[in-house]
Amino acid sequence: MRSPLKITGAAIASAALVGSLAACAANEQANSGASGGKSLEITSWWTSGSEADALGVLTTAVKAADAGLSVDNAAVSGGGGANARQALAARLQAGSPPDTWQLHPAGQLKAYVDGGQVADISQLWSDNGWASKLPKDVADAQQVNGKYYTVPIGVHRGNVLWTNPAVLSKSGVTIDPKGGVDSLIAGLKKVQATGTTAVCLGDKDVFASAELLESLIMARTGADNWKKLFTNSYSFGAPEVKQALNDYTTILGLANKDHSALTWDEAAKNMADGKCAVNLMGDWAFGELGNAGKQPGKDFSWVTFPGQDEVFDYVGDGFSIPAANLKHPDEAKAWLKTLMDPKVQTDFAAKKGSIPARTDADISSLSEYQQQAATAFKSVPVVSSLAHGQVTTAEFAQTYSDAVTALNGGGSIDAFVSTMVQAQSSQLK
């Protein structure tokens, strides 16, 4: 039972275990460090059908530009990119980052810049003259302290009001995008009076209501004051914001009662099925409704979210490259250049349902909605989304999202305002 042989055996076994763990680690190092052939490792959170197809457009293009390049797609699904960002954070800490990764510009980019993890690619920008090909607000969002750290591949719009033409005409309501929020609410109340639910909302994931409130705040404050909210030079306690909060609680009262049990896509489909008149959602809903077999113009239509002046709520995707431990610098730079090719941006947009970031990209082959959005993108002020954590720090975005959850549970407007004002003074320096 207690023979020395057994003990030696146990010791050998445990040594072997430790040894094999070390070997595993060494293997990993060897694999990720191998740089024999030309290769490129890309981390993103594009894994669903249309997203994966869109990513495929990019990898095909970069391979066509560089024969013999092998692309390693290291996409991580789930959580609106949260899982991919966790995985990326671990790899950055370990000093073994992918050659390039997907991120939102502005606030999320700033976190990586502050951590010293993304490379300054200002040279690449000036060599290729990209800044002149983008709306100024969009070019600005790719910078931190005057330097470029990312390239924009596609643009989504957050503040689109999807409408059901049949329900609206039955109630005799038209929604005028220039009519402002008050006329929108009056119209929605008219729909409600006919016995049909006015608003479809699906905020099981709270971003849907956070996006609705965000669109209302932008509509009331305008683009400039929206931007100032995040430099703490305009307060969440301003009368315009409070007005938007009042509008929000009114609209919540006109929405389906079971909104916290539905997901955003279920709510969008309910709207197209005629269960209500309108649904606010980003334009990824356009692709989702199309996949569900709904006809644009017939089953559903759209207007820009009504407000004082038209605002484009920008939810963008870009790619950056690591500042340190970049294994394939030439391939990574070629990748960024491929992303900024106008033809590639158009092909990508066709699959993804977004619009090209470059204003000189040919949009004639895209859908009617995309063409309209692309036109607005060139001509109206572009601001970054808070609900999607783009405009400022992740912490502030989380505070906002928690405050919206509290508001949805019957919390007071005053409590919301005081939470946000306090967050402005403590988090935005």
User: Where along the sequence are the contacts to other proteins (CB under 8 A)?
Assistant: 2, 7, 10-11, 14, 17-18, 82, 85-86, 88-89, 92-93, 111-112, 114-117, 204-206, 256-262, 393-395, 397-398, 401-402, 405-406, 408-411, 414-415
Tokens representing 316? 């963008």
Shortest distance in whole angstroms from residue 205 CB to other proteins = 6
Of the pair 112, 312, the CB lying nearest other proteins is at 112
The whole-angstrom separation of Cα 64 and Cα 132 is 26
Shortest distance in whole angstroms from residue 261 CB to other proteins = 5
Contact 139, 314 (CB under 8 A): no
Tokens representing 207? 């971003």
Of the pair 345, 393, the CB lying nearest other proteins is at 393
Of 281, 276, 269, the closest CA to residue 305 belongs to 281
Radius of gyration of the chain (CA): 24
Tokens representing 217? 């705040």
Of the pair 15, 34, the CB lying nearest other proteins is at 15
Of the pair 146, 410, the CB lying nearest other proteins is at 410
Of the pair 63, 275, the CB lying nearest other proteins is at 275
Contact 308, 144 (CB under 8 A): no
Shortest distance in whole angstroms from residue 228 CB to other proteins = 22
At residue 391, φ and ψ (nearest 5 deg) are -75, -30
Residues 6+ apart with CB under 8 A from 143: 149
Shortest distance in whole angstroms from residue 418 CB to other proteins = 9
The whole-angstrom separation of Cα 73 and Cα 226 is 37
Of the pair 39, 325, the CB lying nearest other proteins is at 325
Tokens representing 223? 């683009």
Shortest distance in whole angstroms from residue 126 CB to other proteins = 27
Shortest distance in whole angstroms from residue 81 CB to other proteins = 10
CA 359 centroid distance within chain: 20
At residue 412, φ and ψ (nearest 5 deg) are -85, 155
Shortest distance in whole angstroms from residue 137 CB to other proteins = 24
The CA distances from residue 244 to 119, 304, 327, 371, in Å, are 39, 17, 49, 29
Instruction: Name the residue with tokens 């010791």.
Output: 11
Of the pair 84, 344, the CB lying nearest other proteins is at 84
Of 320, 325, 331, the closest CA to residue 71 belongs to 331
Which amino acid type is present at position 138? V
Shortest distance in whole angstroms from residue 111 CB to other proteins = 5
Shortest distance in whole angstroms from residue 33 CB to other proteins = 21
The whole-angstrom separation of Cα 36 and Cα 64 is 20
